[in-house]
Amino acid sequence: MSHSRSGWAPDEERRKWQDPEAILPHIGVRLGQTFVDVGCGEGYFAIPAARLVGETGKVHGIDTNAEAIHRLKGKAGAENLTNLDLAIGKAEEWVACEACADIVFFGTVLHDFADPAKVLANAMRMMKPSGLLIDLDWKKESMTWGPPLSIRFSEEHASQLIEAAGFRVEAPESSGPFHYMIVARL
């Protein structure tokens, strides 16, 4: 579920305030893990995650935007990254694997899904018992970048949705000037 490019900063600008090479190690992405990127778009997080998990790890990603998935496959090919398993479709209808994911990641997309509760239920199915769910999303504040304020989830609302799905939410934290991050466990 990728955003249209309008409302997004160019990647070089975005990296100044949302750097995947800093965020992913911070949440514990490491060699050999399975990382699930729900709403992966063109791979802003999926490509760096694939580098971090290495050949012994796996990155599963889904997006409704076929062009974005095509571009992501091209980027992965250009870097000889063979550890990505990508799908075009709706996250409400997708479970990449059962109890395989070390991390299920929502990068600025939870507010986009038609049925966030179903997407979170699918995330639960994909997570290992020791796994983490990460929701990195836009603060519900007016700003230059990102989706319209009216569709954003506040930290409290996102936390309630995640808890209602059966997860245990740890304290949300700020992630740069525009985002918050929620870490949740089974």
Q: What is the mean pLDDT of residues 137-147?
A: 91
Count of other CB atoms within 10 angstroms of residue 34: 22
Residues 71 and 40 sit within 8 Å (Cβ to Cβ):
no
Question: For 36-81, what is each residue's pLDDT tens digit?
Answer: 999 999 999 999 999 999 999 999 999 999 999 999 999 999 999 9
Nearest to 170 by CA among 181, 178, 154: 181
DSSP state of 153: P
Per-residue pLDDT tens over the stretch 66-119: 999 999 999 999 999 999 999 999 999 999 999 999 999 999 999 999 999 999
Two tokens, residue 168: 């245990």
Name 84's Cβ contacts closer than 8 Å, sequence gap at least 6: 46, 50, 58, 59, 60, 61, 72, 73, 76
In whole angstroms, give the CA distance from residue 133 to residue 144: 27
pLDDT at 76: 98
Show the domains of the chain with their CATH numbers.
Answer: 11-185 (3.40.50.150)
CB 72 within 8 A of CB 41: yes
Q: CB within 8 A of 131, min separation 6: which ones?
A: 101, 102, 103, 104, 185, 186
In contact, 136 and 106? CB cutoff 8 Å? yes
> Which tens digits make up the pLDDT trace of 7-35?
556 677 777 778 999 999 999 999 999 99
